[in-house]
Structure 1
Amino acid sequence: MTVHDIARQLPEIPALRDHCRSLATLEAILSPGWEDRYHSFASDWSRTEEMASMSNGSGDEYSIVFSPAGAYVRGFAHESAMSPYVAGEPWPGVLDEVPEVFRSCVREPAFSDEDGTPVVTACLWRESGDDAWRAGGIEFPEVTGGDPDGSGYLFQLLADRSAEAFQRFAEDYYGTAVDLAAVRHVFALRPLTDGVVAALRPGATVADLAEDLAQIGYPRG
């Protein structure tokens, strides 16, 4: 699987944004400690932008910037043969065709190394009003098994947006049973209740999540 396969599986921008907010909310409930979470969402990334992110703590990550221009997706798989740490620069084609409206994201220091090199193995974008996600023309390296750019792993919960997929991920990562009905409730962006929160983390309440929910922009009842 490559970034081109992921481009065909992602939903429209508003749906992706909502899904990212749901992922961040579920992890805020499951994990009181921010540093242990895979997924997060900053509704105040900048004055005009929001950002969804994933980090597995082992060097694999993605960032999605939502702006009036559309959405820009950057992924980095640290063991990929396409890593800029292998070639000394981003793999040919990954960033070459990014439209001008997203070039500030390409140059964003938070997505770059200390020397200014973009830390990226996979990139997608979709301008507002566009009818599809785009990725550059890339000649991928031959690899034995796995994904050459890491896309299949990085974006698996964006391609498979089912409650069951998140339940499998969370039960494996957190080592605890995860209530499927509660996951579905959050995926639907329905107002949180103490019952739903406690089903995912016994003893927790909606009030305990006030700061996280404000940061994520989860809809209030």
Structure 2
Amino acid sequence: MTVHDIARQLPEIAVLRDHCRAMAMVDAVLEPEGTFRYHSFDARWSETEEAALMRNGAGDEYAVVFSPAGAYIRGFAHESLMSPYEADTVWPGVLDEVPEAFRPQVEEPAFADEDGIPVVTACLWRETGDDGWRTGTIEFPESEDDDPGDPDGAGFLFQLLADRSAVAFQDWAADYYERPVDFAAVRHIFALRPLTAAVVKALNSEITLDDLAEDIQEIRYPVG
């Protein structure tokens, strides 16, 4: 699977934004310590932008920046053959066709290394009014065993953006956090229903709704 496959599976921008907010809210309840959180959402990324972020703590990450221009997605799989650390430059085609409207995101310092090279192996974008997601024209590297696999890391990075079901997230969260995860609570949040004390308790009995006040504000998640 490559970024081209992912582009065909992503929904319209508004649906993706709400999905990212929901994932961030569930993660905030499951992992109150923000340092170790997998998904996050910053509704105040800038005066005009919101950002959904993923960091797995092992060097893989993505960012989805929502702006008046549309949405820009940048992913980095650190073990990918397309990593800029392999050739000291971004893989040909990954960023070459990104529209000028998303140039600020391409050049965002937070998405580059100390030398200013964008840290990216997969990129997608969708301008406001577009009828689908776009990607660059890319010649992907061949693996040694002739299995195309996941050359840019897109299948791994964006699996929960492509499969947006509560079931998929519950399965992932139970594996990642190594504990049972209440499905009804996940489904409640994925439907963007107001967060309640009961839902919080079902996911994590060690925190309260009040403990999440800052996260709720940052994500702009509705509260009952």
TM-score normalised per structure 2: 0.97
Partner residue, 1:123: 123
The alignment covers a number of residue pairs equal to: 221
1:7-156 superposed matches below 5 A: 7-143=7-143, 144=145, 145=147, 146-156=149-159
Superposed CA offset, 1:162-213 (max 9, x none): 1111111111111110010100000000001111110000142211111000
Partner residue, 2:202: 199
- Matched residue type, 1:142: E
- Matched residue type, 2:221: Y
Instruction: Provide the secondary structure at the position in 1 that maps to 2:53.
Output: strand
Conservation of the 8 A alpha-carbon contact between 2:75 and 2:120: yes
Q: Which blocks of at least 5 consecutive residues in structure 1 are unaligned?
A: none
Partner residue, 1:175: 178
Conservation of the 8 A alpha-carbon contact between 1:3 and 1:135: yes
Superposed CA offset, 1:24-68 (max 9, x none): 000000011011111000000000000000000010000010000
1:189 aligns with 2:192: yes
1:147-166 superposed matches below 5 A: 147-166=150-169
The CA distance in 1 between the partners of 2:222 and 2:135, in whole Å, is 31
Q: Which blocks of at least 5 consecutive residues in structure 2 are unaligned?
A: none
Question: How much does 1:220 deviate?
Answer: 3.1
The CA distance in 2 between the partners of 1:125 and 1:53, in whole Å, is 15
Question: How much does 1:88 deviate?
Answer: 1.1
- Matched residue type, 1:218: Y
- Matched residue type, 1:84: P
1:218 aligns with 2:221: yes
Conservation of the 8 A alpha-carbon contact between 2:39 and 2:54: yes
Conservation of the 8 A alpha-carbon contact between 1:124 and 1:134: yes
Instruction: Provide the secondary structure at the position in 2 that maps to 1:158.
Output: helix
Task: State the identity as a percent.
Answer: 70
Conservation of the 8 A alpha-carbon contact between 1:194 and 1:204: no
The CA distance in 2 between the partners of 1:50 and 1:141, in whole Å, is 33
The CA distance in 1 between the partners of 2:114 and 2:125, in whole Å, is 24
Question: How much does 1:94 deviate?
Answer: 0.2
- Matched residue type, 1:40: S
Range with greater deviation from structure 2 (174-183 or 141-150) = 141-150
TM-score normalised per structure 1: 0.98
The CA distance in 1 between the partners of 2:210 and 2:88, in whole Å, is 47
- Matched residue type, 2:177: Y
Instruction: Provide the secondary structure at the position in 1 that maps to 2:150.
Output: coil
The CA distance in 1 between the partners of 2:132 and 2:49, in whole Å, is 21
